[in-house]
């Protein structure tokens, strides 16, 4: 395994799931400009993610409602002028 391909700047980082506001602390090298005060009283870099294991349908067993009718209507409206 190559020694120079892995980052060396691992640190504790808080990840926040923006869909349900769940936050978890883990080690990462992900860049961040924001910081958050964690439960232990320390301040850590904050990385926002759109989906995590607490909101993904595979892990939760709940499917999310998708407005397919609205998407089809938008598609037809967009391309009816060309036909």
Give pLDDT, residue 42.
95
Instruction: Give a yes or no: residue 3 inside a domain.
Output: no
Contact 2, 33 (CB under 8 A): no
Instruction: Give a yes or no: residue 2 inside a domain.
Output: no
Overall average pLDDT of the 14-26 stretch: 90
Contact 36, 46 (CB under 8 A): yes
Residue 53, CA atoms < 13 Å, CB-side half-sphere: 1
Q: How far is CA 76 from CA 54, 65, 66, 67, 81, in A?
A: 35, 21, 18, 15, 9
Confidence bin at 37 (pLDDT 50/70/90): very high
Write out the residue range of the structural domain in which residue 45 sits. Answer: 11-79
The model carries a pTM of 0.64
Instruction: Extract the tokens encoding 11.
Output: 């640190």
Instruction: Give a yes or no: residue 40 inside a domain.
Output: yes
How many domains would you assign to the chain? 1
Instruction: Give a yes or no: residue 64 inside a domain.
Output: yes
Instruction: Give a yes or no: residue 5 inside a domain.
Output: no
């Amino acid at each position: 395994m190559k020694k120079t391909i892995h980052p060396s700047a691992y640190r504790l980082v808080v990840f926040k799931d923006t869909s349900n506001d769940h936050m978890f602390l883990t080690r990462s090298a992900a860049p961040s400009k924001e910081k958050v005060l964690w439960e232990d009283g320390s301040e850590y870099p904050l990385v926002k993610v759109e989906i995590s294991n607490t909101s993904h349908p595979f892990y939760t067993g709940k499917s999310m409602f998708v407005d397919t009718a609205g998407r089809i209507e938008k598609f037809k409206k967009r391309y009816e002028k060309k036909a």
